[in-house]
Structures are given as C-alpha cells and as structure tokens.
C-alpha cells in the first residue's frame, strides 16, 4: 500500500509544456491599454525581458528549461505525489485520491516554479531590479527568494490588508532581501490617486499590479513580474502536471478528474494543462477549476476583453473577468481574489475543455481541517478549494458506488495562515456569495475595443 510516489532528480522535466498549439482555436490578441490595438513585443519590452515575451507568444509545444533553472529546481523538485489512503478511509469512498504537494518549495507553494525562470531571464537581459505585487504574500516571497539567487533587487507592493494581517510573509520577503511596500502607496501615481479617493483603502491585487507596472515602466533598470495569469507563467507551472503523470504511471493509475484551485490560473494550469493534449486525443479526463464564491471569476464573470489592473496600465486581454475595479471581499484565501483569469484557462473554459465551480470559504476550511486530520499537512487556504473539490468528487463516487481516480494539486501549506484557521475554529468565518448585480455594475466599465 504505497503512499508516496517519488522521482529522482534526473526525472525533473527537461521541457515545459506549452498548451497554445493544443488550444481548440486561435489565441486572442493582447491589446495595448492606451490605444486598444494589438501589442507588439516592443510595447512589452519596458515591462518584461525578451526571453519571457518570446515564451508568451511561443507556438512551440515543448520549450527547453534552462540548466540554471533546473539546478535551482533541484532544491525541492520533483515534488512528491501522495496517495491519500487515510483521507479515502475517513470518507469511506471507493475513489482513489492522489495529490501533488507543492508546499515542499522553500516559499511553501508552487510559485517558485515560475519565480526562478522569471528571475533567470531578467538576469540574462541585464535587469537590476524587479517590481512586483503580492496579495497574500506567497508570490512576493517566492520572487524575493528567486531574485536574490540571481543577485537581483526586488520591490514588492503588498496589498495593504495582507501587509497588516500577514506580518510573517512580509518578514520572509525581507529575509530574502526584498523591499516591501503596503499598497496603495504614495510611491506611485496609481497609489496616490487611490489614496486621494479613499485614504483608508485596504488595497486590492488590481491596485498593487498598477503600482508595480508603473514602477517598472518608469525605471530603466527595472522590469515587472507577475505570479499568475500570463501564458509563460502557466507554462512554467506545467512541471507539476508533467511530474504527476510520471508518478501516476508508477502507481499504475490514470485520473478521471484533475482538480486545482483557481486564482489567476497558474497552479491549475500547472496540474491540468499537460492533460489537455490527452483530452484532445480522445482520452476521457475531466479538468476542474475550483474558485471562491466570493470571487467567482470563471463561473459568474464575463468572457471578454478587460484590463489586467485597476489603473488601466496593464495590457487588455480576453479573459473571464468581474471587471477591473472589482473590490474583493476580505476572504482568507487572499491569493484567489483577482478580478480576472488566465486567458488560456479562460479560452479552455469557454470551449468546454475545462469545467469550473465556485465554493464557499467555510466549506473549504471544513475540508482543509478534515484533510489535515487525515493526511497531516495543513493546507494553504487557497489550496483548500481544491481539497473541497476533491472531497466532493469522492463523496459523489461513494454515493454512486463507483470507482474514480481523483488527482488534485495541493498548491501550498498554510503555516503562515494560522490566523485564518484560528478564525475558522472560533466560528468567526462566514460565506459570501458575490452578487450578480455587482458583477454587472463593474462590467459596465469594460474597455471599448474594436475586435
């Protein structure tokens, strides 16, 4: 009765999988926020190094992982795949549940899988400093970790509510050498504009992105980095699914359903995209993204062109969106509070290749505690959405008396999120369903595009 499926370091993938050639239709253009016209690589150069811009539009199915990146990846990759025997027994389900655990990275989540290559390509291009944003602090700490390995400075604009509620994530970023600024801040025009309207603003991911983009665009030696959403970020995360496939082979199993939580889409893409090609080749496998009902981008948003940030400085992309000025309620899964979604995940949801569902936060914490008591690991609140999805699938299998193989991504641990668990155990959390009328109000401010 094997519990852990482990690979050797020589089995770390040598190439990332790029889903673009396997999309059911052509990719939608990315538009310039000022002109509404398709962006050129030159438009993006103030923000990103050419190595990443090329990956953003690459039509190659397999892209080589540089040796320097694989060398750092060896610090925590390959990550383990677990068979959740104890959770299966606790649920009394005939389903076989597997989870890929990304909490073994130094920052505690999947985010370093893309932070390391992003830092690498910036170093190659001569970047001195990286400006980025962070919601709950997972991405900021991963970027701080990776950048200092390549001798780069980092400025992190951290959503103010998290800056105040998550002092230890801030400490991690500072320990790895980053400068951390509460957003909205007086440092940028975008931050000053928000503070003028609302001096007590608690911030949002959309605002923090605006500040980081402005910082990069106005400093010659600085580039911007995003921890999710973009095509190259989703591609870097495919090491998760590629390893999981090798590990499932060792287990002699093949998934009926692959599940990930969904914020901007990167960890979900990481586990699910390598199965898209199998699905296109006729294999029966469901791909399920689970998002919070308080930020229901894929399930209640509209598939349309919108800005990636609040101050309309980031490119306009076609994605599921709740509107760029969407103000998320203060749920504890801070990493899932983004108004938009990866254009690649969005296109696949729209084409019916990927399914999405929304779940409430109390049900997620209930699932996380059940998981922690059976399997031991305390999950990040974000990852608990995937666990809720997996447990619901396993309970359905039990009801139907059917065997089912479930694979989910446990994207991170929750060791720095214990305040959220305290609140849950004290009965202080409630559920919030984002009202459809508010989505419609936000969507009235979508950009007018001629496409």
Ligand X SMILES: Cc1ncc(COP(=O)(O)O)c(C=O)c1O
**Binding window for ligand X (CB under 6 A); candidates: 134-142, 166-174, 192-200, 427-435:** 134-142
Least Å from the CB of residue 271 to ligand X: 10
- Any contact of residue 142 with ligand X (CB under 6 A)? no
Residue 99, strand partner residues? 82, 408
Q: Which residues contact 189 (CB under 8 A, 6 or more apart)?
A: 214
**Residue 342: helix, strand or coil by DSSP?**
coil
Measure the CA–CA gap between 301 and 438, rounded to whole angstroms.
11
Least Å from the CB of residue 374 to ligand X: 20
- Any contact of residue 105 with ligand X (CB under 6 A)? no
Residue 17 is classified by DSSP as: E
**Binding window for ligand X (CB under 6 A); candidates: 78-86, 118-126, 265-273, 438-446:** 265-273
Q: Which of 266, 299, 384, 442 binds ligand X (CB under 6 A)?
A: 266
**Binding window for ligand X (CB under 6 A); candidates: 120-128, 130-138, 307-315, 421-429:** 130-138
**Contact in structure between 143 and 130 (CB atoms under 8 Å):** yes
- Any contact of residue 349 with ligand X (CB under 6 A)? no
The number of beta carbons lying within 10 Å of the beta carbon of residue 263 is 32
Least Å from the CB of residue 363 to ligand X: 17
**Residue 5: helix, strand or coil by DSSP?**
strand
CB nearer to ligand X: give 83 or 110: 110
Measure the CA–CA gap between 311 and 308, rounded to whole angstroms.
9
Of residues 162-221, which lie at the interface with ligand X (CB under 6 A)? none
- Any contact of residue 292 with ligand X (CB under 6 A)? no
Q: Which of 48, 98, 99, 139 binds ligand X (CB under 6 A)?
A: 139
The number of beta carbons lying within 10 Å of the beta carbon of residue 85 is 15
**Contact in structure between 134 and 162 (CB atoms under 8 Å):** yes
Closest-approach residue to ligand X (CB): 335
Least Å from the CB of residue 35 to ligand X: 28
- Angle, alpha carbons 48-324-38 (nearest 5°): 45
- Any contact of residue 384 with ligand X (CB under 6 A)? no
Q: Nearest Cα to 268, choosing from 379, 344, 324?
A: 344
Least Å from the CB of residue 343 to ligand X: 13
CA atoms within 13 A on the CB side of 295: 30
- Any contact of residue 136 with ligand X (CB under 6 A)? yes
Of residues 399-418, which lie at the interface with ligand X (CB under 6 A)? 411-412
Order the strands of the 222-225 sheet from edge to edge.
Answer: 179-183, 153-159, 129-134, 222-225
CB nearer to ligand X: give 262 or 388: 262
Least Å from the CB of residue 423 to ligand X: 18
Least Å from the CB of residue 377 to ligand X: 12
Report how many residues bind ligand X under the rule CB under 6 A.
21
Q: Which of 18, 93, 109, 155 binds ligand X (CB under 6 A)?
A: 109
CB nearer to ligand X: give 238 or 383: 383
**3-state SS string for 135-190:** CCCHHHHHHHHHHHHCCCEEEEEEEHHHHHHCHHHHHHHHHCCCEEEEECCCCCHH
Measure the CA–CA gap between 356 and 288, rounded to whole angstroms.
6
φ, ψ of residue 126 in degrees (nearest 5)? 85, 10
Least Å from the CB of residue 398 to ligand X: 27
CB nearer to ligand X: give 265 or 323: 265
Least Å from the CB of residue 268 to ligand X: 6
CB nearer to ligand X: give 150 or 338: 338
Q: Which residues contact 47 (CB under 8 A, 6 or more apart)?
A: 213, 216, 217, 223, 224
Measure the CA–CA gap between 99 and 258, rounded to whole angstroms.
10
φ, ψ of residue 122 in degrees (nearest 5)? -70, -40
Measure the CA–CA gap between 387 and 103, rounded to whole angstroms.
14
- Any contact of residue 263 with ligand X (CB under 6 A)? yes
Least Å from the CB of residue 339 to ligand X: 13
CB nearer to ligand X: give 383 or 442: 383
Of residues 211-250, which lie at the interface with ligand X (CB under 6 A)? 228
Q: Binding pattern to ligand X, positions 305-344, x when CB under 6 A?
A: ------------------------------xx--------
Q: Which of 138, 188, 210, 238 binds ligand X (CB under 6 A)?
A: 138
Site residues (vs ligand X, CB under 6 A): 109, 135-136, 138-139, 228, 261-268, 335-336, 380, 382-383, 411-412
């Amino acid at each position: 009765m094997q519990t852990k499926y482990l690979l050797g370091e020589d089995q770390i993938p040598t190439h990332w999988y790029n889903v673009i050639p396997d999309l059911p239709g052509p990719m939608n253009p990315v538009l310039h926020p000022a002109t509404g016209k398709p962006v050129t690589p030159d438009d993006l150069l103030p923000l990103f190094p050419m190595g990443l811009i090329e990956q953003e539009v690459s039509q190659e199915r397999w892209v080589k992982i540089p040796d320097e990146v694989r060398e750092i990846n060896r610090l925590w990759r390959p990550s383990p795949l677990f068979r959740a025997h104890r959770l299966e027994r606790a649920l009394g389900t005939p389903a076989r549940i597997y989870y890929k655990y990304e909490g073994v990275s130094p920052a505690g989540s999947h985010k370093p899988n893309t932070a390391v290559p992003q830092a690498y390509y910036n170093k190659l291009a001569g970047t001195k400093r990286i400006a980025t944003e962070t919601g709950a602090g997972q991405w900021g700490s991963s970027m701080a970790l990776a950048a200092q390995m390549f001798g780069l400075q980092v400025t992190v604009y951290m959503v103010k509510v998290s800056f105040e509620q998550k002092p230890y994530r801030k400490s991690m970023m500072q320990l790895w050498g980053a400068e951390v600024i509460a957003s909205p801040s007086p440092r940028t025009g975008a931050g000053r504009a928000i503070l003028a309207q609302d001096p007590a603003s608690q911030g949002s991911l959309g605002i923090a992105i605006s500040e980081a983009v402005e910082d990069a665009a106005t400093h010659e030696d600085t580039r911007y980095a995003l921890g999710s959403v973009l095509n190259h970020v989703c591609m870097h995360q495919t090491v998760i699914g590629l390893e999981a496939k090798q590990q499932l082979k060792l287990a002699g199993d093949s998934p009926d359903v692959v599940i990930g939580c969904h914020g901007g889409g990167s960890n979900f893409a990481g586990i699910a995209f390598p199965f898209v090609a199998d699905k296109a080749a006729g294999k029966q496998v469901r791909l399920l993204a689970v998002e919070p009902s308080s930020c229901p981008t894929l399930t209640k948003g509209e598939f349309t062109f919108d800005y990636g940030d609040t101050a309309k400085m980031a490119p306009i992309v076609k994605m599921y969106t709740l509107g760029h000025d969407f103000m998320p309620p203060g749920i504890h899964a801070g990493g899932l509070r983004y108004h938009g979604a990866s254009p690649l995940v969005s296109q696949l949801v729209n084409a019916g290749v990927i399914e999405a569902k929304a779940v409430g936060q109390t049900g997620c914490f209930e699932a996380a505690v059940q998981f922690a008591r059976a399997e031991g690991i305390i999950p990040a609140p974000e990852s608990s959405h995937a666990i809720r999805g997996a447990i619901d699938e396993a309970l359905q299998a039990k009801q139907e008396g059917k065997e089912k193989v479930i694979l989910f991504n446990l994207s991170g641990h929750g060791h720095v999120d214990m305040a959220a668990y305290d609140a849950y155990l004290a009965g202080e959390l409630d559920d919030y369903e984002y009202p459809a009328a508010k989505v419609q109000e936000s969507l009235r401010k979508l950009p007018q595009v001629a496409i």
